[in-house]
Amino acid sequence: MRPAAAPGGGPPLPGGGGKIRVALLRGGKSGEREVSLKSGAEVLARLDLSRFAAVEYDPAEDLPRLVEDALAGRLDVAFLALHGPGGEDGSIQGLMELLGLPYTGSGLLASALAMNKEAAKRVFRAAGLPVAPDLLATRAGLSENPDLPRAAFQALGSPLVVKPTGLGSSLGLALVGNQDELASALDSVFDLGGPALLEKYLPGREFTCAAAGAGARLTALPPIEIIPAPGHLFFDYSAKYEPCQSEEICPARAAPEIISELQRLAAEAHRALGCRSLSRSDFIFSEGRAYLLETNTLPGLTAASLVPKMVRAFGLSFTAFISFLLDDALGQGVDLKDYL
């Protein structure tokens, strides 16, 4: 494993002992707050205490203290265990940039692009990556064009997938088969505060694959196949976070050419968005082809999350992986393979 550079100056944090001083951000105000708290708890439990000293900050209430500590030089790096709006959309990344504090995860632009599913799909299409056909719907647009539900089914077929453009963890995700169901799903998405993306439903096998690093040092991890339990047509919120609601096969039991294609697409999606550090892309394999659904720039890191399972399948401890993310944020030009 590559050693980290010595931490920078500034007065020490209590108990720092000359270690690299980590601001662990978890919580926040989004609908994914509880997942974020669990991600942060897992990171804290797995942190290499021989190298790092962590102080926790909840952006919902601790931003003034974080700013004060950063400006006083009491922090070396931030670990962003945040999910959803305010944590994954470029907002907190912009604050880190203003504070001059290195941080894990992607930068402001890549974070904002990936969080907006419609914008991300524009980037993917421009990069030649396969995505499902879609339409964008807004509350104002629906008011001006009440015929939109019928036109959507005509253009994309039935059933349709409805999802918010700016939320993660499958919040607001719905599968609808008629105009009444679509109208209800659109109201639900609009009430969450943003436009809705309507996508052609592609039946098939669900996979997810993470990419870690950047540039020539980018590494795709072993993909996972996700098999939702009966009653779940896709990997929705309850299938993700409630016990026994899905089977996650890691590494995926798929043909080598499928595995290779998923890893290639995960790496290409990471590059197309300009990601660094870590991303996780979700796929549907339908009619002999893998389609890219979306990319998450701060995927979950809870004990039940997908990325830690991929990390273990890669042959790496989660403690070593956290060290990689922090060293990468500190600009040390690290390669994930060096941590095996």
Residues 6+ apart with CB under 8 A from 264: 220
Catalytic status, residue 76: no
> Of 300, 305, 327, 328, which is the active-site residue?
300
> Of 280, 281, 323, 328, which is the active-site residue?
280
134-137, strands of its sheet edge to edge? 134-137, 196-200, 160-164, 174-176
Q: Which of 181, 301, 306 is nearest to 233 (CA)?
A: 181
The CA-based dihedral angle spanning residues 271, 117, 170, 177, taken in that order and rounded to the nearest 10 degrees: -130
Catalytic status, residue 158: no
Catalytic status, residue 300: yes
> Of 56, 89, 248, 294, which is the active-site residue?
294
Catalytic status, residue 32: yes
Catalytic status, residue 225: no
Beta bridge partners of 20: 52
Catalytic status, residue 62: no
Beta bridge partners of 200: 160
> Of 201, 241, 291, 339, which is the active-site residue?
241
> Of 30, 277, 296, 323, which is the active-site residue?
296
Strands (DSSP E) contained in 66-218 are 77-81, 134-137, 160-164, 174-176, 196-200, 205-212
Query: In whole angstroms, what separates CA 115 from the centre of its chain?
Result: 8
Q: Greatest CA separation found in the chain? A: 65
Report d(CA 88, CA 75) in Å as an integer.
Answer: 21
Instruction: Please name the amino acid found at residue 161.
Output: V
Q: How many Cβ atoms from other residues are within 10 Å of residue 129's Cβ?
A: 19
> Of 116, 169, 246, 281, which is the active-site residue?
169
CA torsion sign, 152 to 156 to 159 to 161?
A: negative
CB 175 within 8 A of CB 233: yes
One DSSP character per residue, 140-168 reads: HHHHH-TTHHHHHHHHH-SSEEEEESS--
> Of 21, 32, 103, 281, which is the active-site residue?
32
The CA-based dihedral angle spanning residues 21, 79, 38, 89, taken in that order and rounded to the nearest 10 degrees: 150
Catalytic status, residue 287: no
Catalytic status, residue 145: no
Instruction: Just list the catalytic residues.
Output: 32, 169, 241, 280, 282, 294, 296, 300
